[in-house]
Structure 1
Amino acid sequence: MNHRSSAAPGKPVEHIATGFLRGGALLVAALCLLPMVAVVIAAFLGSTETLRHLADTVLARYSLTTLQLVISVAIGTAAIGTGAAWLVTMTRFPGSRVLEIALALPLAFPAYVMGYAYTDFLDHPGPVQTTLRAVTGWGPRDYWFPEIRSVTGAAVMLILVFYPYVYLLARAAFLQQSATAFLAARALGSGPWRAFFRVSLPMARPAIAGGVLLAVMETIADYGTVSYFSVQTFATGIYTAWFTMADRAAAAQLALCLLGFALTLALFERAQRGAARHYGAGKRFERLPPTTLAGPRKWAAMVLCGLPVLLGFVLPVILLLSMGLKSDQSIFSPRYIGYLRNTVTLAGAAAVLTVLGAILIGFRQRIWPGPASSVAGHLARIGYAVPGGVIAVGLLVPFAGLDNQLDAFMRSHFGVSTGLLFTGSIWLLVCAYMVRFMAAALNAYDSGLGTIHPNIDAVARTLGQSPLPMLARIHLPILRPSVLTGMLIVFVDVTKELPATLIMRPFNFDTLAVQAHRLASDERLNGAAVPSLVIVAVGLLPVAMVCRHLGARRSRQYGPAPVAAPVAAE
């Protein structure tokens, strides 16, 4: 009797907790869907006068430039990432172990920071052209030099920053391939290159396509690089329509165009990845021994793998340090302490709330699988395919309308003005970060959840554990590394995020990224180097985790594996 009486009061609490877990996941998924729905509605309900003017003047240029960047970045990242992954995984040459780790380092750089460094280095008053004129005696019009502030320059910056997406995924795919098919192709008369293109590359194609898709998504979402290089894309068009023209409808219509482009790319990649299949050659897994390169081949491999690291990390860090030492900016000044505090506040709040949302969605999919849970998971992941500027417009339009309605109601009934309760707060900006980076947190959580056998859940349920205690006492302690990894990834991504922050930040609430963009826009590149260095330092945290994992995998790979005979130079 005592047991029954004590258990009875717990029933409502258990039902409330279960309802929170199930309903919270759907609420998070609805929040992730809201910006897209708001953009569509605002685009169709708004006036098309500004859009017709843009169509007659710059819309074709937006489309062409965005397409040029997408094609260039896709080709460049695929070539560098795949080639470097194959060389460091399947061959040995001087420095290959160091380069295997170092090739991931450019991921710490935001593309716009890379652009600031190379503009100061390669522009007309920079050290390269100044030295060239001093050595040759040429005047400013006596020679031709590539223009860094161009579509080509922006594409190169984006390639240097985004090729690690392809490299990391391609490297993992090559490591997981058995040597059976490759050796069979060699036995049938195919040379190393033919066997690579006919066997290894097709098997790694889904991973390579996934990395290229990530690079392309980041390219169409980029605002800082293209705006600083005066390259007109849809991302810059949205910002211009919102702030310069003060036309929210036109911004929503441009955002809808960019949203459609991003979702088309995502659907295309998912379709081609779903059609690609390859299976292991039986139960036996035989690792392909790395080939030791000799002669010109080893030097070529060193150059091909070392050049992306030199141009994508080593040289930019040196340039930023040199620029920062010549500036009058101090990271320890009260103003910069404020920027750092604002950045940490936004990134910390977004990291915690985003991971909590990912836990709700991932746990619902685990415990209550079904159509609703599956849809919630897909909707939560869609935000990563949507540029930050689109999410900003999609959240500001409905919440600005809600602010106006609430202010009008309070004025008419109570004579009080409420002002901007939602659109003027940092919490709406945090919601934008949640939508943008929910997929990253959810992927980190799901990767850890996959290590928990379903039998553990079954045993917990038979022992009387309800869903909430199961999550708190069993899942979260086991998933602590995955949860912390997800929080770190979101924290760093928020630190680097620029377009959503520029559009949605409260008045006089600037971050390190905003300060770097403002100084660079004013051509104060030496000053912009100081906040840029801090952003890069923060970005190195997850990259260090990746490098540590790469080093561990390298040790396991080359421990007991045999090494093939050196390949002589031809």
Structure 2
Amino acid sequence: MARAVKRPHHPGLRLGALLVCAIVLLPVISLAYVALSGTGEDWPHLVRNVLPGASVTTFNLLVMVAIGTSSIGVASAWMMVAYEFPFRRTLSWALVLPLSVPAYLAAYAFAEFFHFSGPVQTFYRSIFGFQSARDYWFPDIRSTAGCALVLSSVLYPYVYLTTRIVFLMQGRNIADVARTLGAKPGRVFWRVLLPVARPAIVAGVALALMETINDIGAAEYLGVRTLTVAVYQTWLARGSLEGGAQIALIMLLLVFAILGAEQWARSNQRFHTGRATHMKAHPPRVVLKGFRGPLATLLVTLPVLLGFGIPVFVFGQYAMRRLDQFASPELANAFFNTVMTASTTAVITVALALFLLNATRLVRSPDVAVTVRLASIGYALPGGILGLGLLFVLARFDNTLDSFMRTYFDRSTGLLLMGSAAGIVIACTIRFLALAEGSIRSGLEKLPGRLDEAARSLGRTPMQSAVSVLLPLLAPAILTAAVLVFVDTAKELSATILLRPFGFSTLATHVYENASRSQPQDGAAAALVIIATALVPVLVLSRALARDREATL
């Protein structure tokens, strides 16, 4: 009889997982402490003059973004799955390209593209013979609706991806049955597939809304005063950290509400997925003949042109006129800071994700599972909230350490964390830990369940089996996680603005600073570098979609 392998308790792993969880929750605890421990003298002003307008604006923006992303994402996914038209295969992966454009870059590009002197209004005036802006009406991009258009243009791929997978993988049998009963593709969509895909649509919209709440650059530049903008203005303009923390707590409640909807969507998604069958049999597509084929191509191309084409066109034109920007010391310094910060964050985040997954694998107990789950909530925290909460913690740590060193060693440490990029690295590590953990976990779940235990039965210790067996097999998943964290850190703006030391500039803040001076063209080169960097994981995803037999047949 084989001897049962005794599973050790691993107290070090328990303690380490608890420590990581505490660090992740520390900004939220700090934020709540600052918000509730003040005098409350700013609260009446916030209730009368800030919260009503900012809350209504934020609610309207979220509703518009939800409608925009769901409409574009679901319609595009349905067109890809149900119909055959020119360039369908190319567009099936091109629809993902707007994910490489941060919202703040899209806002700067849209504002220039739809400006009075931009190509759209110039063409409009040339057609109708208008001479000035007083002669005609044109929609203002610097409005809540304009901001919603910008955000929807770059965030709809979240809905497109989740919905397209459902249309391909689920409801095949019931859709085929509906077709055999004479139902047209449109009726199959509304009565069969759309109800089945509703959980996936909600999940995709929830991700888009989380990014909308996190946005600061687009809303501020377009003059839309959301709750996120109100946090910055209350803190910087009024000098009220307490007031900014109170608004941030209200935003946190909104985030938890969206998370609740997302969790509901995930549970329902698992329910439907368990019933999907016949994965190899793809539904027949309706060939669009005559003018309907080119029309479908045009309609599906529009989202790509809006979310990806306009930013690349605008910043590409600016960069071509100012090629000297690529050799400027400011851009080189921002690029170096971005690479250094993003690389450090990627290494630390992947290491922590591997540690948490190893703790879950070796210590199979509910308390460790809950601890690891709590350590992954950082991705739900908007960068502004996370940055504001960390600001208090890091400042207190620096001041306490400096006071201790002055008292006992007569030496000053200064701003050890706040005076370096450490704050940005910590914030991005907390925020993107769930992203790395999820990517590596997906790779781990594809491996045989008893693989490492087989190695341990041959005399390997748990650490040896993890290093010699699991890590080599997980190398692709680890690399994917590192690339995703690197790119998201390079694009991060909200937390970077709050936590960067004086004189420290990344590519994102370099573009933001120029846009704040109404000179986005001065940051064109940096904007193109950001988009090119973000294209790496998007192109990998697009390539996977292009190889997907279900998408290309």
Q: TM-score scaled to structure 1, two decimals?
A: 0.91
Residue 184 of structure 1, CA deviation: 1.5
Alpha carbons of structure 1 residues 498 and 284: separation in structure 2 relative to 1, 3 Å: closer
- Please say if residues 387 and 499 of structure 2, whose CA atoms lie closer than 8 Å, have aligned partners that are also in contact: yes
Note if contact 1:178-1:287 (Cα within 8 Å) is conserved in structure 2. Answer: no
Between the aligned partners of 1:102 and 1:300, the Cα distance in structure 2 is 17
2-structure distance, mates of 1:510, 1:263: 32
CA displacement 1:208-234 (0-9 Å, x = unmatched):
221111100000000010111111111
Q: Indicate conservation of the 8 Å contact 1:85/1:170, yes or no.
A: yes
Equivalent residue, structure 2, for 1:334? 329
What code does the residue aligned with 2:167 have? F
CA deviation digits over 1:81-138, x for unaligned, max 9? 1111111122211110010011001110001111111211211232333444455142
Instruction: Give the 3 Å change call, closer, same or farther, for CA 228–506 of structure 1 in structure 2.
Output: same
Give the deviation of 1:247 after TM superposition.
Answer: 1.8
**1:199 corresponding residue in structure 2:** 192
Distance in 1 (CA, whole Å) between partners of 2:193 and 2:289 is 22
Partner in structure 2 of residue 158 of structure 1: 151
Separation (CA, whole Å) in 2 of partners of 1:50 and 1:324:
45
What SS does the corresponding residue of 1:58 show, helix, strand or coil? helix
Map 1:39-438 → 2, pairs under 5 A: 39-134=31-126, 136-177=129-170, 179-275=172-268, 277-278=271-272, 284-285=278-279, 286-327=281-322, 330-438=325-433
Q: CA RMSD in A?
A: 2.2
State the shift of 1:180 in Å. Answer: 1.2
The superposition leaves residues 451-496 of structure 1 with CA deviations (integer Å, 9 ceiling, x where unpaired) of: 1111212212211222211221111100101000001001110111
For 2:277 and 2:348, how far apart are their aligned partners in 1? Answer: 43
C-alpha distance in 2, partners of 1:478/1:150? Answer: 50
- Contact 1:66–1:233 (Cα < 8 Å) also in 2: yes
Q: Deviations over 1:297-322 (max 9, x none)?
A: 32332122111111221232122111
Cα distance in 2 for residues equivalent to 1:511 and 1:278: 43
Q: Give, in angstroms, the shift of residue 532 of structure 1.
A: 0.7
Higher mean alpha-carbon deviation, 106-115 vs 309-318, is at 309-318
* Bigger Cα displacement from structure 2, 102-111 vs 366-375: 366-375
* TM-score, normalised relative to structure 2: 0.93
% identical aligned pairs: 41
Deviates more, 1:336-345 or 1:311-320: 311-320
CA contact (8 A) 2:170 2:277 kept: no
Counterpart CA distance in 2 for 1:99 and 1:168 is 13
Count of paired positions: 544
Q: Is the 8 A contact 1:429 1:505 kept in 2?
A: yes
Which has the higher mean CA deviation after the structures are superposed, 417-426 or 478-487? 417-426
Between the aligned partners of 1:111 and 1:279, the Cα distance in structure 2 is: 32
For the Cα contact (< 8 Å) 1:355–1:486, is it kept in 2?
Answer: yes
Q: Matched residues in 2 for 1:377 and 1:203: separation?
A: 31
Distance 1:245 1:333 in 2: 35
Deviation of the 1:150 alpha carbon: 1.0
- Partners of 2:234 and 2:275 in 1: how far apart? 56
CA distance in 1, matches of 2:272, 2:101: 35
Write the distance in 1 (CA, Å) between the matches of 2:254 and 2:232. Answer: 17
Contact 2:171 2:192 in 1 (8 A): no
Q: For 1:237, what is the secondary structure of its paired residue?
A: helix
1:45 aligned partner, one-letter code: S
Structure 1 unmatched runs, 5+: 1-13, 560-570
Would you say the 8 A contact 1:86–1:174 is kept in 2?
Answer: yes
Q: Distance between the aligned counterparts of 1:268 and 1:178, measured in 2?
A: 22
The answer to whether the 8 Å contact 2:89/2:551 transfers is no
State the Cα deviation string for residues 56-98 of structure 1 (Å, max 9, x = none): 1121111111111111111111111111111112221111001
Q: Tell me, yes or no, if the aligned pair for 2:440 and 2:474 is still in contact at 8 Å.
A: yes
Q: Distance in 1 between matches of 2:43 and 2:227?
A: 12
Which residue number corresponds to residue 525 of structure 2? 530
Partners of 2:486 and 2:276 lie apart in 1 by: 42
Q: More displaced, 344-353 or 171-180?
A: 171-180
Matched residue SS, 1:49: coil
Q: Counterparts of 1:42 and 1:114 in 2: how far apart (Å)?
A: 34
Q: Give how far 1:38 is off.
A: 1.4
Verify the 8 A CA contact 1:326 1:526 in the aligned structure 2: no
CA contact (8 A) 2:346 2:482 kept: yes
Aligned 8 A contact 2:80 2:92 in 1: yes
Q: In 2, Cα distance between the equivalents of 1:519 and 1:551?
A: 37
How far did residue 155 of structure 1 move? 0.6
Give the corresponding residue for 2:4: none
- 1:279-310 per-position Cα deviation (integer Å, ceiling 9, x unaligned): 66686554312222223432332122111111
**2:379 counterpart letter in structure 1:** Y
SS in 2 for 1:331: helix
AA of the residue aligned to 1:451: K
Deviation at 1:161, TM superposition (A): 0.5
Tell me: CA distance 1:390–1:329, structure 2 relative to 1, closer, same or farther (3 Å).
Answer: farther
Cα deviation for residue 434 of structure 1 reads: 0.8
